[in-house]
Chains A and B, each alone.
Chain A
Amino acid sequence: MTASETVKERIQIPLTPDSLSAERIAYLEGIVRQAKTAAAVFTQFDQQDVDRIVKAMVLAGLEQAQYLARLAVEETRLGVMEDKVIKNMVASEFVYNYVKDKRSVGVIRELPERNLVEMAEPIGVLFSLTPITNPTSTVLFKCIMAIKTRNAVIFSPHPKAWHCCAEAVRIMYEVALKHGAPEGVFTCVESPTLADNAYLMKHKDVGLIDATGGPGVVKAAYSSGKPALGVGPGNTPVYLEKSADLNTAVVDIIISKTFDNGTICASEQTVVIDNEIYDQVLKKFEDLGAHICNQKETRLLERTVIDPQTGVMQPMAVGQKATDIARFVGLTVKPHTKLLIAPIQGVGRDYPLSVEKLFPVLAVYRAKSVGEALTVCVDVNHLGGLGHTAVIFSRDEQIIRKFGDVINAGRIIVNSPGSVGALGAVYNDLVPTFSFGCGTGGGNSTTDNVNFYHYLNIKRVARRTQNHMWFRVPNQIYFNMNAVENLGQFTSQSTIIVTNPSLERIGHVDIVRRHICPKTQVHVQVIPDAEPEVKVILQGVEALNFYKADQIIALGGGSVIDAAKIMKLKYESPEADLEYLAAPFLDLRKRVVEYPTEKASRARLIAISTTSGTGSEVTPFAVLIDKEQGRKVTLADYSLTPDVAIVDPQFVMSMPKGLTADTGIDCLTHGLEAGVSTFASPYTDSNAMQAIRLVFKYLPIAYEHPQDEEARCMMHNAACIAAMAFSNASVGLNHALAHAFGARFGVAHGRANALMLPHVIAYNASVPTKFMPSPYTQGYVADKKYATVADLLGLGGHSVEEKVKNLIAAIEQLLDQLEFPRSIKELGISREEFERAVPELVKIACDDPSWRSNPRMPLMSEMAELLWKAYEGRGVVQMADAPQPQTT
């Protein structure tokens, strides 16, 4: 930017174009209409069309590079003609080289691994402000970008560079038109004023403002309420570190700072030089044509090239040669002096030369240490250069990294010239540009080197993608009568059997002991037959440590196996924080907390289930009670899954009738909920369906004839199979409601499930009030899956609706057979007490993670309704003769 632009910053750019005449408004409306039509017509062009036009424009830009450079220098009186030729050529050739093979129409990128396709949509009409410092090159660049992206542009050049810019626009327009571009694709506002700019910035048909210039222009663009690309001023710090190649550094800095007489805003402003090399560096500068100012000369420069009132550079110096500046301020220098170098002792208002100077005057600073050097660079960066450009010359990777870390600049140029380096594609692989995004530090929306993709709306076509699913179970499951004999194959030095008092009393522990590998030291850790408490877990861990156990055998129901899982976790990873690990999650794969993988010790966990319901021997879940905090903690992670599961029915032959019924219905609920879960898969379905079939066939027999070995065996298998299904597909709303209700009224888990089950099936099988997001299923399938279950059970029915009704009726009949209470009120809970409890039950159920895989998203009001249905009981299906399951 120029000093005149900086001064303009203090003049508020009007955002209300009140001063415009009717004629002027009509004129502006006309050019917008023309651009809008051109942009609309342009949408029909394909990639080949735009690439053909772009190539022709680039060739014209190259051909006219010298002509346009001369016009720019003659009109603006800034810069160096030869350098402006280079700029025009870079804006054409280098930019073309970058964009030529890139897609900007239709599909621009395909990401098959993510099932995403990116497509380009033009913006329409761009309103572009161009600067005095790089006038024609900026126009060439923006014209090429606009055609590449099928946009129309209305240009408003800096008034002092209007003619050269208008000529550049004319040349580009004529070539574009000749090669098929729509009429009116480029327009240059005649004699633009601030009021014109304000009017166009706020015009409803302008899609994007692209403002390259001083901070006033950029601020006005951003204040207009339109999407804007505003790129503005800099103040480039350079750190010349002692390990650098000094010859390269000095030449690069001279190239950059004298390029177009320093008018590129990325050019070097203050060079911070390590003390050790300071004198040597200055000598090299002097040898190559720089004039090193003494203290008096520096003071003189400070007073003359920087405005003492505003602290910003004087317009008269911008883009002028070093010798002209010297003559003007009264310095005596050699005839071919390229650069004036002024040593400064600090940064800020008290050191006037530490600001941006778009002319060949360079401040230098002697730094006593790396720390001081970096600090001074940060100060320069914050003195009007935030987000823009910074340069470092060094061979020390650590220092380069540190510089990159502490400096806020969109471009950090290493061992190359700042101005030409920042332009991109010459000294590095930065994207070529004539608009430097300065990020939020510079009040801009981007830190990028602005290029054609900033002129596009990028549309992302996202195809439906299924996350990978899983089916994880213990790698060894032994089942059927006497499966416990398999214990003998697992060698162990020290084994702990975790069990409860009743199992020890009835001799189950002795059976297990008999089959443990000989010579194994065995210790029995008896824990209460209840959900495990933290205290119990810690006692178990103490025993594991004391006996240096390498094997844990959990013998019991869900509570004992859960306790053993957590003991193993704490034994192997003593630092594991159970409360932290129990943090809520929606999807196991995306969970925030990670279970420990570092193991202090290792122990094999063998789970032997003594009930036929929870299936804890194969699940990755464990529940414990934190009595101190008064809460229940659920842990879920596949690392909790036992290593070996033994499903031996001899341990369930003596299960009481009530427990047989409760655990059997828990197993049925697992199967049904996993079957309709949003995480269900063909793998879990096969398990869920088989478990349901086994329950319907064998549960009534096991209940009526507890000594029936086949029935016990099949129910034991069913519990394990259902658990494999819900370990991978999860459960649903039935469990959420049963957990809340069971805990509040002290009702056994299976019984609580049974009270909810018919109502939840009817609820899930009806049209949801709210559908649950479910990427794994196509359409709503819960009702159809229930119908499949009915078919599997041979319940009959012609329509899905009929089959669901038959399934519910069959379940109700099974519950009757098992002598379950069929309503909550039958449990002796008064209506008033239940009414008081329902709001809290709903809140608790709502917090329960179980429902998150339910096929239908339950509203809280619906949860309350279901609880009340369970309170009242029967009446879900009215059928005279409930169908008999025909399982084989």
Chain B
Amino acid sequence: MAVCMAMTAVLVTIDEERAVRALREAGANLDRSQGEVFLDFSSVRRIDSAVLQALEEFACIADERTVKVLLRGAQVDVYKVLKLVKLTGRFSFVS
């Protein structure tokens, strides 16, 4: 018997100055019932290694909880960093 669950989408806005904290909080609150989560990167111009680590951890939590992660508005410089560290496969990208 198939179980139907109500799916909701959550939007998390990432602020460049507080990106690590925002990602960790979002990861902690990630709920299996959320079908997908949008991380809004549109105001992020640059990311550092701490943000990369936080993103990777977030992707792991999302995987465990079968939640799809969508990065919204990631600028190409940020996208290139994710590509270089081979993290793009962990996310979907929307404009």
> Hey, which bits of chain A sit against chain B, CB under 8 A?
34, 36-41, 43-44, 124, 182-184
Please give, as numbers and ranges, the residues of chain A lying within 8 Å of B53 by CB-CB distance: 37
CB of B85 within 8 A of CB of A182, answer no
CB of B48 within 8 A of CB of A183, answer yes
Please give, as numbers and ranges, the residues of chain A lying within 8 Å of B85 by CB-CB distance: 36-37, 40
Please give, as numbers and ranges, the residues of chain A lying within 8 Å of B7 by CB-CB distance: none
Chain A proximity mask over B39-59: 1 for CB below 8 Å, otherwise 0: 000000111111011000000
Interchain CA distance A524-B29 in the complex, whole Å: 105
CB of A43 within 8 A of CB of B80, answer yes
CB of B49 within 8 A of CB of A44, answer no
* Closest beta carbon of chain A to B10's beta carbon, Å: 27
Among A43, A183, A184, the residue within 8 A (CB) of B77 is A43
The reply on B30 being an interface residue by CB < 8 A is no
Interchain CA distance A38-B77 in the complex, whole Å: 14
CB of B77 within 8 A of CB of A41, answer no
CB of B52 within 8 A of CB of A44, answer no
The residue of chain A having its C-beta at the shortest distance from the C-beta of B52 within the complex is A37
* Closest beta carbon of chain A to B46's beta carbon, Å: 5
The residue of chain B having its C-beta at the shortest distance from the C-beta of A183 within the complex is B49
The reply on B81 being an interface residue by CB < 8 A is yes
Interface set, chain B 72-95, CB cutoff 8 A to A:
77-78, 80-82, 84-85
Please give, as numbers and ranges, the residues of chain A lying within 8 Å of B77 by CB-CB distance: 43-44
* Chain B CB within 10 A, most for which of A43, A182, A184: A43
Given contacts A43-B81, A44-B78, contact A37 B49 (CB under 8 A): yes
Number of residue pairs across A and B with beta carbons under 8 Å? 37
Interchain CA distance A124-B80 in the complex, whole Å: 12
Please give, as numbers and ranges, the residues of chain B lying within 8 Å of A43 by CB-CB distance: 77, 80-81, 84
Known: A40-B52, A41-B47; 8 extra A-B contacts, CB below 8 A, are A36-B85, A37-B49, A37-B52, A40-B82, A41-B49, A41-B52, A43-B80, A44-B46
CB of A41 within 8 A of CB of B80, answer no
Given contacts A44-B77, A44-B78, contact A39 B84 (CB under 8 A): yes
29 sample A-B contacts, Cβ–Cβ < 8 Å, listed by A number = A34-B49, A36-B84, A36-B85, A37-B52, A37-B53, A37-B85, A38-B49, A39-B84, A40-B52, A40-B80, A40-B81, A40-B82, A40-B84, A41-B48, A41-B49, A41-B81, A43-B81, A43-B84, A44-B45, A44-B46, A44-B77, A44-B78, A44-B81, A124-B84, A182-B48, A182-B49, A183-B48, A183-B49, A183-B50
Please give, as numbers and ranges, the residues of chain B lying within 8 Å of A36 by CB-CB distance: 84-85
* Closest beta carbon of chain A to B57's beta carbon, Å: 14
* Closest beta carbon of chain A to B77's beta carbon, Å: 5
* Closest beta carbon of chain B to A591's beta carbon, Å: 45
Please give, as numbers and ranges, the residues of chain B lying within 8 Å of A38 by CB-CB distance: 49
Interchain CA distance A34-B85 in the complex, whole Å: 10
The residue of chain B having its C-beta at the shortest distance from the C-beta of A33 within the complex is B85
* Chain B CB within 10 A, most for which of A34, A40, A43, A183: A40
Please give, as numbers and ranges, the residues of chain B lying within 8 Å of A34 by CB-CB distance: 49
Interchain CA distance A39-B80 in the complex, whole Å: 11
- Interface SS of chain B: helix, strand, loop or mixed? helix
Interchain CA distance A229-B7 in the complex, whole Å: 55
Please give, as numbers and ranges, the residues of chain A lying within 8 Å of B48 by CB-CB distance: 41, 182-183
* Closest beta carbon of chain B to A659's beta carbon, Å: 68
Please give, as numbers and ranges, the residues of chain A lying within 8 Å of B49 by CB-CB distance: 34, 37-38, 41, 182-184
The residue of chain A having its C-beta at the shortest distance from the C-beta of B53 within the complex is A37
Interchain CA distance A41-B53 in the complex, whole Å: 12
Interchain CA distance A184-B46 in the complex, whole Å: 17
Please give, as numbers and ranges, the residues of chain B lying within 8 Å of A184 by CB-CB distance: 49
* Closest beta carbon of chain A to B89's beta carbon, Å: 15
Interchain CA distance A58-B85 in the complex, whole Å: 29
* Closest beta carbon of chain B to A376's beta carbon, Å: 53
CB of A44 within 8 A of CB of B47, answer yes
Interchain CA distance A184-B50 in the complex, whole Å: 11
Please give, as numbers and ranges, the residues of chain A lying within 8 Å of B45 by CB-CB distance: 44
Interchain CA distance A184-B81 in the complex, whole Å: 15
* Closest beta carbon of chain B to A203's beta carbon, Å: 14
* Closest beta carbon of chain B to A519's beta carbon, Å: 81
What 5 A-B pairs have minimum CB-CB distances, sorted nearest first?
A: A40-B84, A44-B46, A40-B81, A37-B49, A40-B85
Interchain CA distance A346-B49 in the complex, whole Å: 60
The residue of chain B having its C-beta at the shortest distance from the C-beta of A184 within the complex is B49
The residue of chain B having its C-beta at the shortest distance from the C-beta of A124 within the complex is B84
Interchain CA distance A182-B45 in the complex, whole Å: 15
Please give, as numbers and ranges, the residues of chain B lying within 8 Å of A40 by CB-CB distance: 52, 80-82, 84-85
Interchain CA distance A43-B77 in the complex, whole Å: 8
* Closest beta carbon of chain A to B29's beta carbon, Å: 26
* Closest beta carbon of chain A to B20's beta carbon, Å: 13
* Closest beta carbon of chain B to A608's beta carbon, Å: 67
* Closest beta carbon of chain A to B55's beta carbon, Å: 11
Please give, as numbers and ranges, the residues of chain B lying within 8 Å of A183 by CB-CB distance: 48-50
* Closest beta carbon of chain B to A47's beta carbon, Å: 14
Interchain CA distance A88-B84 in the complex, whole Å: 34
Interchain CA distance A124-B84 in the complex, whole Å: 9
The residue of chain A having its C-beta at the shortest distance from the C-beta of B50 within the complex is A183
Interchain CA distance A41-B49 in the complex, whole Å: 7
Interchain CA distance A62-B50 in the complex, whole Å: 31
The residue of chain A having its C-beta at the shortest distance from the C-beta of B48 within the complex is A41
The residue of chain A having its C-beta at the shortest distance from the C-beta of B77 within the complex is A44
Interchain CA distance A40-B82 in the complex, whole Å: 8
Interchain CA distance A36-B82 in the complex, whole Å: 11
* Closest beta carbon of chain B to A49's beta carbon, Å: 10
Please give, as numbers and ranges, the residues of chain B lying within 8 Å of A41 by CB-CB distance: 47-49, 52, 81
The residue of chain A having its C-beta at the shortest distance from the C-beta of B46 within the complex is A44
Interchain CA distance A182-B48 in the complex, whole Å: 7
Interchain CA distance A410-B82 in the complex, whole Å: 41
* Closest beta carbon of chain B to A34's beta carbon, Å: 8
Please give, as numbers and ranges, the residues of chain B lying within 8 Å of A182 by CB-CB distance: 48-49
Please give, as numbers and ranges, the residues of chain A lying within 8 Å of B84 by CB-CB distance: 36, 39-40, 43, 124
Please give, as numbers and ranges, the residues of chain A lying within 8 Å of B81 by CB-CB distance: 40-41, 43-44
Interchain CA distance A705-B27 in the complex, whole Å: 94
The residue of chain B having its C-beta at the shortest distance from the C-beta of A40 within the complex is B84
Interchain CA distance A36-B56 in the complex, whole Å: 14
* Closest beta carbon of chain B to A464's beta carbon, Å: 24
Interchain CA distance A34-B78 in the complex, whole Å: 18
Interchain CA distance A255-B20 in the complex, whole Å: 56
* Closest beta carbon of chain A to B42's beta carbon, Å: 16
* Chain A CB within 10 A, most for which of B46, B49, B53: B49
Interchain CA distance A43-B85 in the complex, whole Å: 12
* Closest beta carbon of chain B to A757's beta carbon, Å: 52
Interchain CA distance A184-B78 in the complex, whole Å: 18
Interface set, chain B 56-71, CB cutoff 8 A to A:
none
Please give, as numbers and ranges, the residues of chain B lying within 8 Å of A124 by CB-CB distance: 84
